Chains A and B, each alone.
Chain A
Amino acid sequence: MAGYFKDIWLGVSTVLIGMHITFKHWFKFKKAVTIQYPHEILEMNERTRAHLFNVADECAVCLQCARACPVDIIDMQGIRADKDEDLGLLPTGKPKRMHLIKFDIDFSKCVYCGLCVEVCDTKSLHWRAPVEPCTFTREEMYKSFATIPPDEVERLIAFDAERKVKKAEEMAAKKAAAAAAKAAKAAKAKAEAEAKPAEAGADAPKAAKSDVGEEKKETPAASDTPEKPGTPDSPDAPENTPKPEPDKS
């Protein structure tokens, strides 16, 4: 019997305790925590992954982000600028040497992992506040960040193709010249060897060594030129980036 009344007392008192607690909240002894979103915007942390944005002018087109993306949705393409073209400086302090002609992200697939932002050296790819805008169609989520107008892009592509053809011709010419020089050298060496058979053992390796040394000298020289893309730690340049031209040094 005592247990019965104790139970009732427990029920009544706990209900009253609960009502006391809710009453305190009801009458604002604790303030409402609601952020009225469209009218007031919650301050977000710097690294809040909400809205991805790329500033085309600051992008070095190093392809790091495209390679980091786990879902492979960054579709980008760059064209190397002409030698005497000035594209301004990158945030890293290096001059920008690539035209960004295409930088598309399909936000319907993006998982907002932030890996692309982590690897971006120039911080051109960054998070913005507050959030990615919603869309009525799936196509609208496919966003393009390149700012170059289409006719300019066409011109650049044509220019690049032309340059490639030219370069190929140059390369071919150089190859032919090199081959001719080699042949001449070989002929000369043969003649010398024939002339001085006693000295042959010491001379031939020396010639080879000097060749290698020359090539080694050429490569660092080429990477110092502004022709190389902004970030030095990119081993693979975009496919249409011209190889350092040996005749520059």
Chain B
Amino acid sequence: MGLIEGRFEPNIIVTSTDAIFNWARSRSIWPLTFGLACCAIEMMATNASRFDLDRFGIFPRPTPRQSDCLLISGTVTAKMGERLVTLYEQMSEPRYVISMGSCANSGGPYCDHGYHVIKGVDQILPVDVYIPGCPPRPEALIDGFLKLRDLIMKETIAKPSA
């Protein structure tokens, strides 16, 4: 958690700070430069000129410390799963996870017979947004980021009401 989360009762100052912070957070989602399988190609295509994720202030950071969002783009094998968890743990709060493509959502084509594939990355990480597709079109990925934006806009730094 960040420095100020969960310390104050909800009041007028906290809610206006919330508004600013959520605006900033949701407008500046930096995903980790991290591709796993074929979905990563589509992720690159989305970052490239045609769809240009940079329009939303989304540009990939190479190091997990400076990124806000772990974009799981592809097949998560059991072996890679451990690395993913490590990467996630290295990220600084607030952090989000987007599961991109059928492989990450539920194992996809490997859901029945893939002995080596984690059947859904939500078994190892808390996923915020799922993007169906194999691979999801760039439009779907953008939709996913916009959906994550909606999710962030609902956050608050106030103490959770007991």
Chain A contacts to B: CB under 8 angstroms: 32-38, 41-42, 48, 50, 70-72, 106-113, 130-138, 140-141
* 16 additional contacts (CB under 8 A) given A34-B55, A138-B130, A141-B130: A34-B49, A34-B51, A35-B50, A37-B138, A38-B146, A71-B111, A72-B112, A111-B108, A111-B134, A134-B129, A134-B132, A134-B147, A136-B128, A138-B106, A138-B120, A141-B105
Q: Would you call B136 and A36 a contact (CB within 8 A)?
A: no
Instruction: Find chain A residues with CB under 8 A from B122 CB.
Output: 138
Q: Would you call A108 and B133 a contact (CB within 8 A)?
A: no
Q: Would you call B137 and A135 a contact (CB within 8 A)?
A: no
Q: Would you call A134 and B49 a contact (CB within 8 A)?
A: no
7 pairs of residues in contact across A and B, judged by CB atoms under 8 Å: A41-B139, A106-B106, A109-B109, A110-B108, A110-B134, A132-B140, A134-B143
Give the complex CA separation of A136 and B99 in angstroms.
10
Partner of A71, one of B49, B112, B136, B146: B112
| Known A-B contacts A37-B138, A111-B108; A131 and B143 likewise in contact (beta carbons under 8 Å) | yes
Instruction: Find chain B residues with CB under 8 A from A48 CB.
Output: 137
Give the complex CA separation of A38 and B127 in angstroms.
23
Chain A binding surface SS class: loop
Give the complex CA separation of A111 and B130 in angstroms.
14
Give the complex CA separation of A135 and B131 in angstroms.
7
Q: Would you call B109 and A134 a contact (CB within 8 A)?
A: no
Instruction: Find chain A residues with CB under 8 A from B49 CB.
Output: 32-34
Give the complex CA separation of A42 and B111 in angstroms.
32
- Of the four ranges (under 10, 10 to 19, 20 to 34, 35 or more), the interface on chain B belongs to 20 to 34
Q: Would you call A107 and B132 a contact (CB within 8 A)?
A: yes
Query: Which residue on chain A has the smallest CB distance to residue B147?
Result: A134
Instruction: Find chain B residues with CB under 8 A from A110 CB.
Output: 102, 108, 132, 134
Partner of B142, one of A37, A111, A112, A141: A37
Nearest chain B CB to A34 CB, angstrom units? 5
Q: B60 contacts the other chain (Cβ, under 8 Å)?
A: no
Interface string of B63-102 (1 = CB under 8 A from A): 0000000000000000000000000000000000000001
Instruction: Find chain A residues with CB under 8 A from B144 CB.
Output: 134
Q: B24 contacts the other chain (Cβ, under 8 Å)?
A: no
Q: Would you call B139 and A141 a contact (CB within 8 A)?
A: no
Q: Would you call A131 and B139 a contact (CB within 8 A)?
A: yes
Instruction: Find chain A residues with CB under 8 A from B127 CB.
Output: 138
Query: Which residue on chain A has the smallest CB distance to residue B139?
Result: A131
The 7 closest A-B pairs by CB, nearest first: A108-B106, A108-B105, A131-B140, A107-B132, A111-B134, A134-B144, A132-B132
Instruction: Find chain B residues with CB under 8 A from A141 CB.
Output: 105, 130, 132
